[in-house]
């Protein structure tokens, strides 16, 4: 089966490509550096010839409110239109747990707009909602740093390894379309501030983590359950303490 991965050269996309290649599928990693630009449409029609499944794990190069909305709306419209012409049977998209609860954030408003375009299209679809990746610990801490201190809310936090996200996306893509969403998360829940305190210590990062109930994540103030899934989520196996990148080496 031919499967095209939009964003297939990125962190998650490259893992998805490898996992599905190992299962014997004909994989195409579609990205600007492989000649496929979903914003302009360049190379998209050719890439989708004889394609059964399209997996979209792409992300905006800018998180500025207007730019991120333009990216997800334009890219998604172009991909869906090209899929309809090519007769693609299944559109799979990676999104984020809590997207619908974080409308203060321009990024999450754009992700929600992406999901609504997918839901309104004629193509059968599956949307995989994942929690925050272990790989993003450093960048989340950097974004939360004010005057040298990492300010984090004491809310529930259930991160997941990127490999486990890729495995979930790959599994969904070769199954029947859900025409709905599925949540995937790590196996453990933490308090976000406590998690970052321990995680930065493991990375030998000297920054102090300050518990701040009003600390924002991607521009949104968090409530207790903003970032965690409901009880029907698929839980991955990798625990943070067992993750090879926990100390920050090579990640």
User: Phi/psi class of residue 98: alpha, beta or left (left: φ > 0; alpha: ψ in -120 to 50)?
Assistant: left
Whether the predicted pLDDT of 149 surpasses 90? yes
- For the chain, domain boundaries: 2-133+160-187+229-238
- Residue 248's pLDDT band (boundaries 50, 70, 90)? confident
Half-sphere exposure at residue 47, Cβ-oriented, CA atoms within 13 angstroms: 28
pLDDT in tens, 47-96: 999 999 999 999 999 999 999 999 999 999 999 999 999 999 999 999 99
Whether the predicted pLDDT of 14 surpasses 90? yes
CATH T-level fold of 2-133+160-187+229-238: Rossmann fold (3.40.50)
pTM, entire model:
0.95
Let me know: does 83 contact 91? Beta carbons within 8 Å: yes
């Amino acid at each position: 089966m031919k499967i095209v991965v939009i964003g297939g050269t990125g962190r998650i996309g490259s893992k998805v490509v490898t996992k599905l290649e190992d299962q014997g599928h004909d994989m195409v990693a579609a990205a600007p550096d492989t000649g496929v630009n979903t914003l302009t449409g360049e190379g998209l029609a050719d890439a989708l010839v004889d394609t059964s499944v399209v997996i979209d794990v792409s992300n905006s190069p800018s998180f500025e409110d207007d730019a991120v909305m333009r990216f997800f709306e334009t890219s998604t419209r172009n991909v869906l239109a090209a899929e309809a012409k090519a007769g693609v049977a299944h559109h799979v998209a990676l999104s984020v747990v809590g997207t619908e609860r974080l409308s203060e954030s321009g990024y999450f408003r754009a992700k929600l707009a992406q999901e609504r375009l997918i839901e309104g299209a004629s193509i059968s679809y599956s949307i995989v909602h994942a929690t925050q990746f272990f790989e993003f610990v450093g960048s989340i801490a950097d974004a939360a740093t004010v005057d040298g201190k990492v300010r984090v809310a004491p809310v529930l936090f259930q991160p997941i390894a990127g490999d486990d996200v890729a495995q979930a996306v790959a599994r969904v893509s070769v199954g029947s379309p859900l025409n709905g969403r599925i949540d995937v998360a790590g196996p453990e829940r933490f308090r976000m501030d406590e998690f970052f305190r321990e995680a930065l210590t493991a990375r030998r990062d000297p920054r102090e983590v300050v518990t701040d109930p009003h600390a924002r994540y991607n521009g949104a103030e968090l409530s207790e359950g903003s970032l965690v899934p409901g009880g029907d989520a698929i839980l991955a196996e990798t625990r943070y303490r067992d993750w090879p990148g926990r100390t920050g080496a090579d990640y």
